[in-house]
Structures are given as structure tokens and as C-alpha cells.
Chains A and B, each alone.
Chain A
Amino acid sequence: MTRFSLGKYLLPTYVFLTFLFLMVPIGYTFVFSFNDSIKSNIIWRGFTLDNWLNVCDQADVCGAFGNSLLVAVTATTVSTVLGTMIAIALVRYRFKFRSATNLLLFLPLATPEVVMGAGLAAQFLDFGWTKGLTTVIIAHVMFTLSFVVVTVKARVATLDPALEEAGRDLYASPMQVFWKITFPLLLPGILSAAMLAFALSFDDFIITQFNSGSVDTFPKFVYTAAARGIPPEANVVGSFVFIVAIAIVIAVQVRSAMKKRKLLSK
């Protein structure tokens, strides 16, 4: 029974080509970070390491990057704490207004950024608050919260309640049960959620643009620079972040694969 097996290669080929396609802008950004350009990074002039070595020559780039980091770290911390609390409550506790809570948590995921950004800006206007670092952080906590809840919730749901019951049975008070049993076991999920929140906050543009006033974050800097030409230092920062992120993801995967192998070996 012979069957023409071209079909077998069709899908993998397609996938391979698609992934190549997905990588194009990444490659482009990386390559052009080495461009020996003066201000605008549009035409290739020549290879140089100067951009990488002296990335803060373009002071705006580093400043914006610093702001993005500050905002992301702060927002991630607040959002992760609040979101973890909600996730635990959702999975472990019975309470009356569950449907409404689910809906309230879901809505930010389904709302276009432009609506959330405009809404917050309108509100800050009504309150009379000046837009700046604080308003950006407030905005970032808001839209990352639901993502944290979803991620941690998935992890809480896999936690066997019998483990906590065993803790109480073995003389641990509720607080001790939480810190010695629940929290360590939830930690991978919480860290995942924190990383997700950080990534979302760092890369956010639309909501930030509406609510940051004169404060520049990295995406905002790129946007405003796009008109006259994005300096190669921005490419450097972008590529750097990419490399760090990929390295973390790979490290996590390798570590969990090694752990799995170690557990199975004995």
C-alpha cells in the first residue's frame, strides 16, 4: 500500500516557513542595532559595535528604558500581590457574587487598550490629577491584574486541598499552613504571573501614551522617534531585552526538564 507522502512534509514545511516569517522583524531589529548610522536608522551604513558599547550616548533611550523598568517592577509587584489573593479566593472559597467577580476580572481582558487608556485619562482629568509616573503605574496595575489572576488561578486549581488539610492536621495554624505549604507550592505560578505582568507592562504603549503625560517609557520613546527616525540605540535596547527574555524562558524550560529527569531517575 503505497501512499504519496508529500502531505507528510507539507505541514512541517509550512510551519518552518511561518516561523521564519515570524522572526523577520526580530532579525531586522537585531541586525540594524549594529548600523553605523548617525541619527535615523533607515539606511544601512556599516557595521559597528559602538551602539552596543555606548548605548546611553542617546540619553533619551536609557532614560526611557529606566522609566519602563521602574514602572514595570512597581506595577508587577502590586499586581501580583492583589491578583494572587483574588486567585486563591476564587478557587478555594465559596462566595455569593462569584459570577459578577468573574465578569469584572474578565472585562479588562476584552477591552481594547484605546478604550481603557482614554477612560483612565478622562478620569484623571476629572479628578484633576496630573499625568506622570504615578498615573502610569496605576494604569499598568489595572490592566495586568486580570492576567495575574488567570495565571495564578490555573496553578491554584492544581493544588490538592488535602495538602493544606494535612498541614492543619499536623498542628500548623492557618497562617503557618499558608506560608509553609500553600505559598511554596504556588510559587512557580506566581512567578509565571509576575513575569507575564512584567512583560505586558514593559511593552505597553497605548495605555501608557494616554496616561503618562511627559514621562517617557521605552515604547513611547520609540513611537515618537518613529517619525524622524529611530536611533539604533533603541534597537540595541530592544534586542537586549529580547535576548534576556529568551534566555530566561529557555533557562526555565531546561531547569524543569532537568528536574523532571532527576525525579524519574530513581
Chain B
Amino acid sequence: MAFVAFGSQAPTKEQGPSKTGRVALFLLLPGLFYLALFFITPLVSLIITSLKAPSATGAIGRYDLGLEFGNYVYAVTQYAPQIFRSFSFAVLATVIALAISYPIAYFIAVKSRNRPLLKGILLTLVVAPFFISFLLRTFAWKQIFSNDSLVVNVLKDIGIFGADSYIIGTNFAVVFGLVYNFIPFMTLPIYANLDRLDLSLVEAGSDLYASPSKTFRKITLPLSLPGVISGTLLTFIPISGDYVVASRDFLGGPDTAMIGNVVEANFLRIQDYPTASAISVMLMATIVVLVSAYVRRSGTDDLL
């Protein structure tokens, strides 16, 4: 899927699996057992915790096993604005990231195909932001957009901003930060897909009287759709759970809390584990639904 871009440079030849037997089990079991223990079981723990009731002893942070479905109702009603906001931000940021990333991916994969040096440089530059800590990147934007920064002052001078206008803490700032951080996640899958685009198909299009823009719309775009879907999933999912960007210490404010912020607050500060777990479970369920729709169309072999 997405990460073929990180992997080998050679195109994958199709080699079918050929051997059976116990060696396969020996190779698989340690890793799969590890995942079962530290990925599946935690998810189960989450579900169990989401149904717990406050401890009979009344101690804070202590809960008893139960079947309190009411926790979910509480979570949804209490945090409906954040839930709605999270998904709106995620959708908006994903769409914008797509619009920004597609031309870049196209340029690297198609236009630079014959210049490996340029291609290598551009790919490195796309991935470069990853090499600076996510938090430092976001913090840098916070500084750049802070109330007495150059940017804000200039905007005030030009007159676009009023005297009381600010950027940090607005929805714009959060979406901006989300888009910035996830551009590489959107670009690389689309790039990986376009890199394998057979250019003779595009040539055939123009040979058959289609203008460049028509060729793009009718040939290139549909063929790049799997990459676009990959990229969209790979961007939307992490964004929907993010809370760093929207945190009040970074680009967020009192009105920009997302689901992630809620979970963080409930889990690490308020110690309301059932509510935090309930929200996490709902988030996970939504994503599972989305991914299942994707898997049903393409099967599981393509996933990895």
C-alpha cells in the first residue's frame, strides 16, 4: 500500500508463495502473538473499560467491571461538539491536503520520471519534515502565528486583520497545522501509485484526440484513484485522533478541542477511564467501518 514508497526501489515481481509447513508457523507466531497480546488485547481492554462503573469504594480512578452502556450515552452527549468538530476538521484537512499533495505527487512521479536526480531530491524534501520532531514543527507554526509575530503584525498593518484579530486558537490555525503535518502522508501513496502509471496510456489518450486536460480527467485521474484512496485513509485516520495540533499549548484554543484532546484529558488527568475508553471505542469503530468498505472492494492482499 502506501509504504512501498519507503521500501525497495525495484518494482515488485509477482512471486507466488511456494512452500508450506511448519517453518511458516515458526516465523509467524512470535510476531503475531506479540500483536495479539499488545494490540488486540488492549482494544478488548478498552471495550471492557468503557463499560466499567465507578468503584463501589468511591475512590477516584478506580472502577469496577460492569455493563454500563450508559457511559457511551454520556460520552456522546457530553462531547458531541468535539466529536462533530473532529470529523469536520478531519474531512476538511484531508480534502485540502489532497488538493495540495496531488500536484506534487504528479510532478514527482510523472514529470520528473526521467530525471532521477531531481526525483530523489524532491522525494527527500517531501519526507524531510518528518525528520524534525512533529512537536517542534507544530510549535514553530505556533510561534510564527502568535499574536505578536511578524505575520500577524503585517496582516494587521495591511488591514486584513483588525486590532483584536488573532490566529492561534482559531479553527483555521488547527486545520492549517493538521494539513501541514499530514501532507507527506497524502503525497507518498499517490506518488507510489502514479510512479507505476504506464505513460503509454496517456500517450494513447492524446493519440485518440483527447486534449491534455481530458486525458488527465479520463485516464490519469481514474487510474490514480487507488493511491488517492490510500492517501485519504492514511491521512484521515491519524488526523481524526490527533490532539497535539489542537492542544491549547500549540495551535488550539478553548474552542478547538478534538476527540483526542477529550480522550487525553479524561485518561491522563481526570482519570475518567470509562468515558475516555468509550470515546476511543467509538472512534475505532468508525474507522473500522471505513476501512472495511475499502477492504471489501480490494481484498486483503492489497492492504500491506
Direct A/B contact, Cβ within 8 angstroms: yes
Q: Look across to chain A and name the residue whose beta carbon is closest to the beta carbon of B107.
A: A15
**Known interface pairs A105-B35, A142-B34, A219-B135. Does A11 touch B18 (Cβ–Cβ under 8 Å)?**
no
Query: Could you say which of B45, B133, B139 contacts A203, with CB atoms under 8 Å apart?
Result: B133
Say if the beta carbon of A110 comes within 8 Å of chain B. Answer: yes
Q: Verify B31–A85 contact, CB threshold 8 A.
A: yes
Contact among B23, B243, B300 with A114 in the assembled complex (CB-CB below 8 Å): B243
14 contacting pairs across A/B (C-beta < 8 A)? A22-B128, A22-B129, A25-B137, A93-B17, A95-B25, A115-B284, A119-B39, A122-B277, A126-B45, A142-B39, A145-B31, A209-B268, A218-B133, A241-B131
Q: A121 contacts which chain B residues (CB < 8 A)? A: 267
A85 x B30 contact (CB < 8 A): yes
Contact of A138 among B31, B38, B134, B259 (CB under 8 A): B38
- A residues near B14, Cβ cutoff 8 Å: 157
Most interface-central of A14, A199, A242 (chain B CB within 10 A): A242
0/1 string, B182-196, CB within 8 A of A gives 1:
010000000000000
For residue A94, which residues in chain B have a CB less than 8 angstroms away from its CB?
17-20, 24
Interface flag for A34 (CB, 8 Å): no
B10 nearest in chain A by CB position: A158
Q: Are A111 and B103 in contact (CB under 8 A)?
A: no
A227 within 8 A of B: yes
Flag if B130 contacts A199 (CB, 8 Å): yes
- Tell which of B15, B34, B267 touches A91, judged by Cβ atoms closer than 8 Å: B15
Chain B interface residues (CB < 8 Å from chain A): 1, 3-4, 6-15, 17-21, 23-25, 27-28, 30-32, 34-36, 38-43, 45-46, 48-49, 100, 103-104, 106-107, 111, 116-117, 120, 122, 124-144, 146, 180, 183, 233-234, 237-238, 240-244, 247, 249-250, 259-260, 263-264, 267-268, 273, 276-277, 280, 283-284, 287, 291, 295, 300-301, 303-304
Pairs A-B, 3 closest by C-beta atoms: A112-B241, A119-B42, A154-B7
With A25-B140, A107-B39, A112-B283 already in contact, the answer to whether A238 and B34 are too (CB < 8 A) is no
Is A258 located at the chain interface by the 8 A CB criterion?
Answer: no
Inter-chain pairs besides A25-B136, A101-B32, 5 sampled, C-beta below 8 Å: A11-B111, A115-B283, A123-B41, A151-B3, A205-B135
With contact pairs A104-B32, A219-B134 given, residues A15 and B104 touching in the complex (Cβ less than 8 Å) = yes
Name the residue of chain B whose CB is nearest to the CB of A26: B132
Query: Given A93, A111, A120, A142, which contacts B19 in the complex, CB threshold below 8 Å?
Result: A93
Q: How far is the CA of A14 from the CA of B101 in the complex (A)?
A: 11
> Are the CB atoms of B244 and A139 closer together than 8 Å?
no
A130 within 8 A of B: no
A74 part of interface (Cβ distance < 8 Å): no
The answer on a CB contact under 8 Å between A28 and B140 is: yes
> B38 to chain A: closest CB distance in Å?
4
Given A25-B129, A26-B129, A115-B280, A108-B17 contact (CB < 8 Å): no
Bound state CA distance, A188 and B263, in angstroms? Answer: 40
* Distance A245 CA – B128 CA, assembled complex (angstroms): 9
Known: A26-B132, A205-B135, A249-B124. A93 touches B42 (CB 8 A): no
Bound complex: CA A137 to CA B243 (Å): 22
A residues near B, CB below 8 A?
Answer: 11-12, 14-15, 18-19, 21-26, 28-29, 32, 42, 82-83, 85-86, 88-95, 99, 101-116, 118-123, 125-126, 138-139, 141-142, 145-147, 149-155, 157-161, 188-189, 192-193, 196, 199, 203, 205-206, 209-210, 218-219, 222-223, 226-227, 230, 234-235, 238-239, 241-242, 245-246, 249-250, 253, 256-257
Closest CB in chain A relative to B7 CB, distance in Å = 4
Q: In the assembled complex, which residues on chain A have CB atoms less than 8 Å from the CB atom of B241?
A: 112-115, 206
Contacting pair B134 A203 (CB below 8 A) = yes
A159 (CB) vs chain B CBs: closest residue: B15
Contacts of B103 in A (CB 8 A): 11, 14-15, 18
Known contacts being A145-B34, A151-B3, A158-B10, is A226 close to B126, with CB within 8 Å? no
**Which residue of A19, A110, A245 contacts B131 across the interface (Cβ within 8 Å)?**
A245
Within the assembled complex, what's the spacing in Å between the Cα atoms of A42 and B14? 54
Q: Are B132 and A106 in contact (CB under 8 A)?
A: no
Q: Which residues of B contact A153 (CB under 8 A)?
A: 7, 304
Inter-subunit contact B104/A18 (CB<8 Å): yes
Contact B35 A93 (CB under 8 A): no
A residues in contact with B122, CB < 8 Å? 15, 19
A18 touches B46 (CB 8 A): no
Are A86 and B3 in contact, CB atoms less than 8 angstroms apart?
no
Contacts of B32 in A (CB 8 A): 86, 101, 104
Contacts of B41 in A (CB 8 A): 123
A207 to B261, CA, bound (A): 13
Query: Which residue of B is nearest A42, CB measured?
Result: B143
A114 touches B280 (CB 8 A): yes
- With beta carbons under 8 angstroms apart, the residue of B18, B36, B117, B133 that contacts A219 is B133
Query: Bound state CA distance, A118 and B262, in angstroms?
Result: 12
Contact of A223 with B28 at beta-carbon distance under 8 Å, contacts A29-B140, A110-B233, A122-B273 already known: no
